[in-house]
Amino acid sequence: MTSGWERYVREEQTRRMLLRRMGLTTMALGAGPVLLGACGGDDEAAQPAATQAEGPAKVPAASGRIDYLSWEGYDVPDALKAWKTKNGIEVKTNYIANHDDIQAKIKAAGGSAGYDISTYYQGYKPLYEQLKILQPINEQKLPNLKNLAPFWAGDRANFWVDADGTRTGVPWTWTTLGLTYDSAKTSELPSYYDLLDPKFKGKVAVVDDPAGSFTLASHVLGLQPDKVKKADYAKVRELLANIIGQTTGVSASFGDMTTKLTSGDAVVCWQGWTAMNKFAADAGTKTVKTNFPKEGGFTACDCWSIPSTADNVDAAHAWINETLDPKVHAAAADNVVGGVTVNAAQPMVSKAVSQFYPVEQLEASLEKAPLYNNPPVQSDEFVTFEEMLKGWQELKAGAKA
C-alpha cells in the first residue's frame, strides 16, 4: 500500500524532475538564451542564467545594512554576531507575527527598496512566485551551498529551484507541527480528535496561522492540502470550526499561544511547535512538551529568500552563505529549535533540540509529517489560497462551519 506521502513525493518528484530536465535540455540545445532574450524585459527574476554562472563559487563582500524580515529568532543574533562584527554589518530587524505578514509587508513596500532578506516555507512558493516578490539567488555566491544535505539539495524535496534552474530559496531549517501540551495538566494525546473531548472545552489553543491550520486539518482528514476539492472544503471547515469551538479564541502568535499555556489559559495547542517547549521553559514552565499524534502532522521547511525589494543583495547572499557554515548552522538550529539542513551541523546541535529532528530519521519523520504545498493561487477544482484565507477569518470570528 502506498502512503499519501509516498504518492505525493513521487508525483511531485516526477513532475519537478521532468520540468527540470526539460529546462536543462532546452538550455543544452542552446535555446535557453534565445528564449530568455525573446522574453526580454528588465525583470531580473526572468533571468535564471544569472544564478548559474560558471567557475568556483565565491562569497561576495558583505557590508552596510541588511533589512531583515522574518520571525524573531531566525535572525540568529548570537550565531551571526562574529560575522556581522567582522564585516561591519548592521541588521535592521522587522519581525513578523504570522507568515502572511511577509508578503503583506513586501507588497506594501511596493517597488521601493527595503527588505534584503526574508524566509518562507515551502508551501508559499507558488503564491510568492505569483506575487513576484522573490528574486533569484545566485548559487555562485554561495560556496557553502555544497554543505546542504543531499535530501534538501536534491530533487525529492525541491521546492526552491525552478525547472529552468532559477533558485529562489535556500532551505535552512525545518520543523514539524503537532500538538504542544502542558504535561502537568494532561497526558500526551494520541489523536487530534481528542482535542474535541468536552473536558478540553476552553482549554485548547489555536494560532492565527490560516495556511498552517488548513494544512494540518486537511492532513488529519487524509486530504492533500493543495488538492482539496471544493466539495471537500466543508469537511475541513467543520473540523477547524470544532477545534476553534474548543478554544477561548484564536491566539495572535505562537508566542501568545505559549503564554496561554504557561498562564493556565490553555492546556493543549493545535498546530503545536517544538520551539514552544523552549519558549515555555524560558518563561519558567518546564512541563510543556510536543508530541505527534497517530495521524502525524506536517513539516514546514523554511528557506532563506531575497525579496524583490532587496537593495543589498551581496550582503544577503553572504548572510545565507554564513548560515550554511556547520558551526553557525548548529547554533542557529539551537536558537530556533529546528532541524538542520546541513548534516555536518547535527553533531554540534544540543541534544534538547536534535532529539526532535534526528537527521537519520528525516525520511521516516516526513512519512508521518510530509512537506506540503499550500492551496493553489488559482483553481476551479481545488480550494484556493484566497478561499482558504477568507474561510479562516470567518471561523476565527466564531462562525459555524
Instruction: Decide if residue 286 touches other proteins (CB under 8 A).
Output: no
Residue with grid cell 468536552, as numbered in its chain: 198
Taking the complex as a whole, the smallest distance from the CB of residue 247 to other proteins amounts, in Å, to 8
Instruction: Closer to other proteins by CB, 161 or 211: give it.
Output: 211
* Interatomic CA distance for residues 278 and 89, integer angstroms: 29
Residue number, 77 or 398, with CB nearest to other proteins: 398
Question: By CB under 8 A, what part of segment 326-385 binds other proteins?
Answer: 377, 385
Binding residue (CB under 8 A) for other proteins from 65, 84, 156, 396: 396
**Residue number with CB closer to other proteins (382 or 385):** 385
Least distance from other proteins to the Cβ atom of residue 202, Å = 6
Q: Which stretch binds other proteins (CB under 8 A): 20-28, 48-56, 337-345, 392-400?
A: 392-400
Gyration radius of the chain's alpha carbons: 21
Q: Build a one-symbol-per-residue string for 109-138: x at contacts with other proteins by CB under 8 A, - elsewhere.
A: ------------------x--xx-------
Contact call for residue 100 and other proteins (CB under 8 A)? yes
Per-residue x/- track, 35-74, other proteins (CB under 8 A): ----------------------------------------
Distances, alpha carbon 280 to alpha carbons 183, 271, 276, 283, in Å: 12, 16, 6, 5
Contacts with 202 (C-beta within 8 Å, 6 or more apart), sequence order: 246, 247, 248
Host H or E run for residue 236: helix 233-245
The smaller minimum CB distance to other proteins, of residues 244 and 301, is found at 244
What are the cell numbers at 145? 551551498
Q: How many residues bind other proteins (CB under 8 A)?
A: 34
CB of 365 to other proteins, least distance (A): 30
| Residue among 86 and 390 whose Cβ is closer to other proteins | 390
Q: CA-CA distance, 44 to 48, in Å (whole number)?
A: 8
The DSSP bridge pattern shows strands 117-121 and 134-135 to be unpaired
Which contacts (CB < 8 Å, 24+ apart) does range 105-113 have? 105/69, 106/69, 106/131, 106/133, 106/307, 106/308, 106/309, 107/131, 107/133, 109/309, 111/309, 112/309, 113/309, 113/310, 113/311
DSSP H/E element including 131:
helix 125-131
Q: Which of residues 262-281 bind other proteins (CB under 8 A)?
A: 263-265
Please report how close the Cβ of residue 299 comes to other proteins at its closest, in angstroms: 23
Question: Restricting to residues 236-265, which ones interact with other proteins according to CB under 8 A?
Answer: 244, 247-249, 252, 256, 259, 263-265
Residue 205 near residue 266, CB atoms below 8 Å: yes
386 binds other proteins (CB under 8 A): yes
What's the min distance (Å) between Cβ of 378 and other proteins? 10
Shortest Å, Cβ 213 to other proteins: 13
Give the shortest CB-193-to-other proteins separation in angstroms: 21
Residue 375 CB, nearest distance to other proteins (Å)? 12
183 binds other proteins (CB under 8 A): no
Phi/psi of residue 134, each to 5°?
A: -115, 150
DSSP SS3 for 201: coil
d(CA 177, CA 181): 12
Residue selected from 72, 101, 314, 367 as contacting other proteins according to rule CB under 8 A: 101
Nearer to other proteins, 49 or 377 (CB): 377
DSSP state of 343: G
110: amino acid identity, one letter: G
- Minimum CB separation from other proteins for residue 266, in Å? 9
* Shortest distance (Å) from residue 389 CB to other proteins: 5
Q: Which residues pair with 92 in a beta bridge?
A: 67
Phi/psi-derived region of residue 14, left when phi > 0, alpha when psi is between -120 and 50, beta in every other case: alpha
The terminus-to-terminus CA distance of the chain in angstroms comes to: 33
Nearest approach, Cβ of 19 to other proteins (angstroms)? Answer: 24
Give the CA diameter of the chain: 66
Interface of this chain with other proteins, residues 294 to 333, rule: CB under 8 A: none
Provide the binding-site residues for other proteins, judged by CB under 8 A.
100-101, 103-105, 107-108, 127, 130-131, 202, 208, 210, 244, 247-249, 252, 256, 259, 263-265, 377, 385-386, 389-390, 393-394, 396-399
